Structure 1
Amino acid sequence: MPATDLHLLTEAAVEAGKIATRYSGSTAQRWDKPDGAGPVTEADLAVNAMLEQKLSAARPGYGWLSEETEDSADRLSRDRVFIIDPIDGTRSFAEGSRTWAHSLAIADRGEVTAAVIYLPRRDLLYAAAKGQGATLNGETIRVSAINTLETAEVLAAKPNLQPRHWRQGQVPEFKRNYRPSLAYRMALVAQGRFDGMMTLRPSWEWDIAAGDLIIREASGLCSDRMGQPLRFNNPHPRLNGVIAAGSEVFGLLSEQLEPESPGIVT
């Protein structure tokens, strides 16, 4: 990994924040994507255009995968690839909320090596580079050391607590919370603000790539819903859910999930 990759992502994320915050979320022009793929706003497109120009010019040998760019098989031939969500939490952005993020990552042969999650309206910049730890606004962060589910606070949408997803239909006792941006949920676990997070539905790579590295560099564990390591730049860039936490809570959540349960497709 070039030593300046994280610096490049950080600069790009800050510039993305300046662009996005010029728009008033509730008045920004908005469209619904085909096939129920969710909304997109003029801010998403403006941020994406800047990021694609800036990052591709700085690293012309890297591939490109973004929620707001038509996918191309060209990225599959590249060792390194940018994985970008211009605005994670577009619905929240369009409602005028502060809880949305720019999520930027670089994967090297399937493993994320540099990552930034930036929430400009909350002045929160999470960052990590492989082997260098994770930070929030320049200060080192670490996952929670909680070791029981009964005392754990876990970020999860309500459908994850359906009994069919848990062994013998027994949903474990933990306090559930929620935040609208998946990238932010992962960052909050890395920060130790929450003890774990999970989503059992298929998850796009651009939503989780940055969070995967930031959690792991904050001494946490991160996997798909079956406990398999997350690998990126797949031909179909969607992974089988996400579980992330400190080691104790991660193990407790993983062992109580029903492996035969289908993922949530909502």
Structure 2
Amino acid sequence: MDRTRGRQGTHALLGRDSGRQRVGEFDRVEKCERTRGSHGATVAPGAHKADMGVTYATATLAALGDTKGRSMSQDAHAAASIAREAGEVLLAVRAAFAVDVEPQERGKRGDAAAQARIAQLLAERFPGDDVLSEEATDTDARLSADRVWIIDPLDGTREYSEGRADWAVHVALWERGDLTAAAVAIPGEGLVLDTSSVTPAPASAVSPVRLAVSRSRPPAITEPVRAGLGAELVPMGSAGVKIAAVVRGQVDAYVHAGGQYQWDSAAPVAVARAAGLHASRIDGSPLLYNGADPYLPDLVVCRPELASRLLDLIAHATDHGETS
């Protein structure tokens, strides 16, 4: 996927000539069969506060008051709806261009179509909000905005292009300093996880510890962590799918130190926090979003009871030069 770093207001995003052309190009494929609805029902109890720099998460909706809670819930439902619809567009594009189109080109077309649809929906529903997107041009105007949507229209272009299911759509809302609502769609499974309806991560009933890793290029940090935990490696596709796997109890942790951007992790990290999981940088410091530089190279998402041990292993590996 092209790493075009971007932000524009929602009207500007929608008004790009290339965006208008893409919407027209894919009008016919949007009539294809849609994926089914979202996953999860009850509001997760919660979110936990920072614990000596190890765990950082948003406060519970109740702690923020009924009015704020309702607003956050509405934003989360909107994020889920937008992510789901973008996923439907991506599935339709892939089906329409499954033959006689090279995989790389198929990925580009899907990316563009999903970006156009998300931009359109944000412009219609939140015309005053700003946007930071992988597929749009960035300016510093978003840095003074109260509300910024951080989106990745297609996380896992390679998996998408190859006809696999382990790719995702990310839609997150940053508001006055932190992530307040988000959704991650995994269209290949007909699944949407969002911050208002995600259930607490299920307890682990499997031994050994399971680590989600890239199926093509696991970062160097993986081996010392695996060895220290006696862990099993579980290869899978996009970052969003890996973090969602922790939320769903399919794995126990995801550690990454190979370079990412804010849009790669914003939505899945917000969902993970809402499910009561630990999410931080690999040094234990908070993951901060809507920064001037969209580069956010590393993270840890795991069960809370694993956090201290994981961070200690990472610190030891870093001190001994085992991460490069």
Tell me the TM-score range normalised by the shorter chain: 0.7 to 0.9
Assess if the C-alpha contact under 8 Å between 2:219 and 2:258 holds in 1. no
Equivalent of 2:115 in 48, 61, 81: 48
Q: CA deviation at 1:223?
A: 0.4
1:142 is aligned to: 201
Alignment counterpart, residue 179 of structure 1, candidates 211, 236, 242: 236
Matched, 1:239 2:309: no
Residue identity in the other structure for 2:302: A
In structure 1, what residue type is equivalent to 2:296?
Answer: L
Closer/same/farther in 2, CA of residues 14 and 159 from structure 1, 3 Å limit: closer
Distance 1:154 1:10 in 2: 27
- The equivalent position to 1:78 in structure 2, one of 138, 145, 160, is 145
Supply the distance in 1 between the matched residues of 2:141 and 2:103 (Cα, whole angstroms).
Answer: 29
Q: TM-score, normalised by structure 1?
A: 0.83
Show structure 2 runs of 5+ residues with no match. 1-67
Change over 3 Å in CA distance of 1:238–1:66 after alignment to 2:
same
Q: Does the aligned pair in 1 maintain the 2:200–2:276 contact within 8 Å?
A: no
Gaps of 5+ in 1: 33-38
Distance 2:295 2:256 in 1: 13
SS in 2 for 1:21: helix
Equivalences for residues 123-134 of structure 1 within 5 A: 123-129=190-196, 134=197
**Which residue number corresponds to residue 14 of structure 1?**
84
The letter for the 1-side match of 2:86 is A
Cα 1:104–1:126, aligned 2, differ >3 Å: closer, same or farther? Answer: same
Farther-moved stretch of structure 1 (21-30 vs 241-250): 21-30
Aligned to 1:36: none
- Separation in 2 of the partners of 1:22 and 1:185? 24
**Higher-RCO chain (CA-CA 8 Å, sequence separation at least 6):** 2
Q: Name the SS for the 2:273 alignment partner.
A: helix
1:105 alignment partner, one of 156, 164, 172 = 172
* Aligned equivalents of 1:143, 1:109: Cα separation in 2: 31
Alignment of 1:187-198 (within 5 A): 187-198=244-255
**SS at 2:242's partner residue?**
helix
Query: Do 1:226 and 1:259's aligned partners in 2 also have CA atoms closer than 8 Å?
Result: no
Task: Assess if the C-alpha contact under 8 Å between 2:132 and 2:138 holds in 1.
Answer: yes
Q: Once the two structures are superposed, what CA deviation does each residue of 1:222-262 show, in whole Å capped at 9, x if it has no partner?
A: 00111111110011111130101111212211111134459
- Larger Rg computed on CA atoms: 2
8 Å Cα contact 2:220-2:323 kept in structure 1? no
In the aligned structure 2, how far is the partner of 1:86 from the partner of 1:152?
31
8 Å CA contact 1:200–1:240 kept in 2: the answer is yes
Instruction: Name the CA distance, whole Å, in 1 between partners of 2:267 and 2:190.
Output: 17
Say which SS state the counterpart of residue 22 (structure 1) adopts.
helix
CA distance in 2, matches of 1:46, 1:253: 39
Provide the C-alpha distance between the structure 2 equivalents of 1:70 and 1:108, rounded to a whole number of angstroms: 20
CA distance in 1, matches of 2:250, 2:154: 22
Q: Assess if the C-alpha contact under 8 Å between 2:149 and 2:174 holds in 1.
A: yes
Figure out how many residues of one structure are paired with residues of the other and give that number: 245
Give the match's secondary structure for 1:238: coil
Match of 1:218 in 2: 275
Q: Give the secondary structure class of the aligned counterpart of 1:219.
A: coil
Query: Match of 2:220, as an amino acid?
Result: N
Shift of 1:40: 4.9
Instruction: Flag the structure with higher helix content.
Output: 2
1:12 is matched by which residue type in structure 2? Answer: I
Shift of 1:145: 4.7
Q: Does structure 2 retain, via aligned residues, the 8 Å contact 1:106–1:115?
A: yes
CA contact (8 A) 1:187 1:211 kept: yes
More strand, by proportion: 1
Q: Give the whole-Å Cα distance in 1 for the aligned partners of 2:249 and 2:103.
A: 34
105 and 29 in structure 1: CA distance in 2 versus 1, 3 angstrom threshold: farther
Query: Which of 178, 196, 212 lines up with 1:155 in the alignment?
Result: 212
| TM-superposed deviation, 1:114 | 0.7
